[in-house]
Amino acid sequence: VFVGLPKSSSLTTEESVFRASGFGRVTAAGGGGNDRAYLADSAEDDIFVGNPSSSYLKSDNYFNAVRDFSFVSARASAGGYDTAQLIDSPGDDVFYGTPEFALLRNNVHQNRVAGFDRVLARSFGGEDIATFRDSSGDDIFVSSPTQSYLHDRANYFIEARRFSRVTAYASEGNDRAIARGSSGDDRFVSSPNMSFMRGDGYFN
C-alpha cells in the first residue's frame, strides 16, 4: 500500500514500512499483485492524471507518482481548483462519473478520484461505456458523437470523450439534456422518461 501526501509518503509491504519526508518528487513502483495507492492533494491547484500503467498527482511544489498499481485513489479536499484526467486501456473500459467521485476501470485496474472540480475521461480504444449521475441540484447534460459532459455551472464538470456508449441519469432537480447529432445519418427517439440519439459508432 502506497500513501502519497504532499512532501510526505509511505510504502507498506508485508515485511516493511518505507517513509519519505520533504521530497519534492516521489515515485512508487508496484511489483505485481493487488497493490493499492492512495494520493491526497495540497491546498494549491492540483492535477491528477491516471492510466492503467501509471498515475500521478502534482502541483507546483510536489509530484507523487505510482506505476503498476492495480488500484489508485486520488482525493482532492485541501482546496484549490483541482482537475483529473482518466485515460482508458486498449481494451474495454467502464467510466462512472458523479459530482462527488469518478472512476475508470477494466478487469484488472481502477483509477478513482473524489472531490475534483473538473474530471475528464478519455477513450482511445475498445468498446468503452460511460455513465453519469446527476447532483441534487439543477444539472445540464450535453452529448455529441465524440463528447459528453455533465455539470451544474458552478460546482463540478464531468466530461467523457469518444466513448462508444454514454448514459446519463437525472434523479433530482430541474435537469436539462441537449443531444447533438453527427454529420451522418442519426436517429433520435424520445419519451417522457428516456431519450436517446444514435449514429455510426455512438449511442447516447
What is the model's pLDDT at position 174? 96
Average pLDDT on 158-183 reads 97
Grid cell locating 68: 503498476
> If you search the block for the grid coordinates 510536489, which residue do you land on?
62
Average pLDDT on 152-173 reads 96
What is the model's pLDDT at position 32? 78
Q: Where are the beta strands (DSSP E) in 34-146?
A: 36-40, 47-50, 54-58, 63-67, 71-75, 83-87, 94-97, 101-105, 110-114, 118-122, 129-133, 140-143
pLDDT band at 33 (very low <50, low <70, confident <90, very high): confident
Handedness of CA 200, 161, 113, 54 (dihedral sign): positive
What is the model's pLDDT at position 14? 87
Position 47 pLDDT exceeds 90: yes
Residues 6+ apart with CB under 8 A from 99: 133, 134, 135, 152, 155, 156, 158
Distance CA 52, CA 94 (A): 12
Position 182 pLDDT exceeds 90: yes
Give the phi and the psi of residue 34 in degrees, each rounded to 5: -90, 65
What is the model's pLDDT at position 68? 95
Closest CA to 122 of 147, 152, 91, 142: 147
DSSP characters for 124-171?
A: -SSS-EEEEE--SS--EEEE-SSEEEEE-SSS-EEEEES-SEEEEE--
Average pLDDT on 7-23 reads 94
pLDDT tens per residue, range 115-135? 999 999 999 999 999 999 999
pLDDT band at 153 (very low <50, low <70, confident <90, very high): confident
Q: Are strands 47-50 and 83-87 parallel, antiparallel or unpaired?
A: parallel
Q: Are strands 101-105 and 94-97 parallel, antiparallel or unpaired?
A: antiparallel
| Mean pLDDT score of the chain | 96
Above pLDDT 90, what percent of the chain?
A: 96
| Chain centre distance of CA 170 | 19
Position 31 pLDDT exceeds 90: no
pTM: 0.95
Closest CA to 83 of 8, 3, 158: 158
